[in-house]
């Protein structure tokens, strides 16, 4: 019962958040300079042609009617028609979502595999040169700009060593090896900052756990340091880290925009940039709405995980 109340409270906050965001995106998109009908028709189109385009896509309706018309369709899964290529936005987004999720999952795997073990190592060697070095690596990885790291990796591993492709995307079902190789550098760029965040939080949580009474009791019983760290301290330290990791996965979806541009990956990032440049209302609105829903779902998952693995909340 407590879980249902807990989940219901989080869900009640999520619904108005999505609605408010949808209104903001809808209004801000209309404040941008330029005419989408003119962008579709080109410079040679006459006034009658412009009116036909506006009428076809509902651009001649009052702005509040445009919003409610779009929102009503979005609630049943219809995000409209792209003004640029006349494709269904829902179909367009689903194709790009698969690519962006592949990048996000690969980046998250790198972040977890690197960040959590180094955080545990730093905490277990607290006060030593290893702790200092690990903390420096963590701070550096958080501070490095994505575009700069991406350029360095391309120059080193694509141009000079020629180990990985510098750009492009190959579907996994066409060539699994080339597809995996193409995701290596973008995943490192996107996962580096998250690894640093996980490293710092894991270290902090581990230091708190290692100073707890149950750890001192375990050591007094003569258990090995390895068993104390991995079976007792780490288990409790992972409670906040797991939930943080779920939230950071949501941030990866936003961070993928710049990374996809650097490596010419045709995911959400490229679609968003093209949509803004061409004033493609339906694509931008649909993309932001889907991204917001995904982020909220990930946040809800983080809340649920925190409830499940934290015995104090379960009562």
The pTM of the full predicted model, rounded to 2 decimals, is: 0.76
Could you tell me which residues come within 8 angstroms of residue 289 by beta carbon, excluding any fewer than 6 positions away? 18, 21, 22, 25, 74, 79
Q: What is the pLDDT of residue 33?
A: 66
Q: Are 289 and 22 in contact (CB under 8 A)?
A: yes
| Better-predicted residue by pLDDT, 45 or 167 | 167
In this predicted model, what pLDDT tens digit does every residue of 291-300 receive, in sequence order? 888 878 877 7
pLDDT of 301 > 60? The answer is: yes
Q: What is the pLDDT of residue 39?
A: 64
pLDDT of 215 > 80? The answer is: no
Could you tell me which residues come within 8 angstroms of residue 37 by beta carbon, excluding any fewer than 6 positions away? 50, 53, 54, 57, 59
Domain ranges of the chain: 98-276
In this predicted model, what pLDDT tens digit does every residue of 30-83 receive, in sequence order? 776 666 666 666 666 677 777 777 777 777 778 788 888 878 877 887 777 777
Which CATH code is given to the segment(s) 98-276?
1.10.3720.10
| DSSP assigned state of 128 | S
Q: What is the pLDDT of residue 248?
A: 79
- DSSP run (H or E) holding 59: none
Share of the chain above pLDDT 70, in %: 89
Q: What is the pLDDT of residue 42?
A: 63
């Amino acid at each position: 019962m407590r879980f249902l109340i807990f989940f219901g409270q989080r869900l009640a906050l999520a619904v108005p958040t999505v609605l408010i965001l949808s209104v903001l995106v809808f209004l801000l998109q209309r404040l941008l300079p330029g005419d989408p009908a003119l962008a579709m028709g080109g410079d040679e189109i006459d006034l009658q042609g412009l009116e036909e385009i506006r009428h076809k896509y509902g651009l001649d309706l009052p702005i509040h009617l445009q919003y409610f018309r779009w929102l009503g369709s979005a609630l049943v899964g219809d995000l409209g028609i792209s003004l640029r290529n006349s494709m269904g936005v829902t179909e367009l987004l689903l194709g790009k979502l698969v690519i962006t999720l592949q990048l996000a999952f690969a980046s998250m795997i790198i972040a977890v595999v690197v960040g959590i073990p180094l955080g545990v190592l730093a905490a277990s060697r607290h006060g030593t040169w290893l702790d200092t070095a690990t903390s420096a690596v963590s701070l550096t990885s958080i501070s490095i700009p994505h575009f700069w790291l991406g350029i360095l990796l391309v120059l080193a591993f694509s141009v000079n060593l020629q180990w990985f492709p510098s750009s492009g995307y190959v579907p996994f079902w066409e060539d699994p090896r080339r597809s995996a190789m193409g995701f290596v550098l973008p995943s490192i760029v996107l996962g580096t900052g998250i690894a640093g965040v996980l490293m710092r939080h894991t270290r902090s949580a581990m230091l708190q756990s290692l100073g707890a009474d149950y750890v001192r009791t375990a050591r007094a019983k003569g258990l090995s340091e390895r068993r104390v760290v991995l079976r007792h301290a780490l288990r409790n330290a992972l409670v906040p880290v797991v939930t943080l990791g779920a939230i950071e996965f949501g941030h990866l979806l936003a961070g993928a925009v710049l990374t996809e541009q650097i490596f010419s990956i045709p995911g959400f990032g490229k679609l968003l940039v093209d949509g803004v440049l061409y004033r493609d209302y339906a694509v931008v609105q649909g993309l932001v709405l889907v991204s917001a829903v995904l982020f909220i779902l990930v946040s809800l998952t983080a809340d649920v995980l925190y409830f499940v693995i934290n015995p104090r909340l379960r009562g």
